[in-house]
Amino acid sequence: MTNMVKPLKTVTPVLLMALALLMPTAAVQAQTNEQSASNPLPKVRMVTSEGAIELQLRPDVAPETVDNFLQYAEDGFFDGTIFHRVIPGFMIQGGGFTRDLSRKSTRAPIRNEAKETLPNLRGTIAMARTSAPDSATSQFFINLSDNGFLNAGVRGPGYAVFGNVTEGMGVVDAIARKQTTRKQGMADVPVEPVIIETVTVVDPEG
């Protein structure tokens, strides 16, 4: 049987070459870690009539979507809007209507940044849209379950996830238990309005 052990003088140069190849990778990884530490992922606090929800956003995966959401938040657009569509076991949707179900005027739609690497799992926040992939504006939804059929590539372009709930999932579940009805031609509207009072960026230092 052939001996598979190589002589030391043959192995040593190979090992040195492998280490040399790994060194740039290690340097890049260290730089990435430094960047992550200096630029933490943004967090927002959404205060609702049912309690507070904190979300960590993912500009590293969906930069245009996160910028869009943060701009609406900083403009105070979400303040006083409602969760207008609540479906237990599926999702809660908000960010586009006032408590009297008047639709708010929005900015132009954004590009769909749905990625297979950031799926629609329970507790994630994603952009709502029409049947047109690049039609999302201000409306978003929080997944109550792992909704794999909403992921990119499953039934088309998918729905863009751009963050996840880090605190307040109990509040999300409480909203999901609200009794719903049909109002002004819209289904699954909570009988008692669930108000989004404020959406503010959390200070990483505070």
pLDDT in tens, 100-128: 999 999 999 999 999 999 999 999 999 99
Among 34-38, 86-90, 124-128, which stretch is predicted with the lowest mean pLDDT?
34-38
Letter string b/e over residues 168-180, b meaning 16 or more CB atoms within 10 A of that residue's CB: bbebbeebbebeb
DSSP structural state of residue 205: T
pTM value is 0.81
Q: Tell me, what's the pLDDT at 39?
A: 77
Q: Which domains does the chain have, with CATH numbers?
A: 43-202 (2.40.100.10)
Percent of the chain with pLDDT over 70: 81
Tell me which amino acid residue 191 is.
V
Q: Which tens digit of pLDDT belongs to each residue from 55-71?
A: 999 999 999 999 999 99
DSSP 116-141: TTS---TTEEEE---SSTT-B-S-EE
Residue 121 CA to residue 151 CA, distance in Å, equals 9
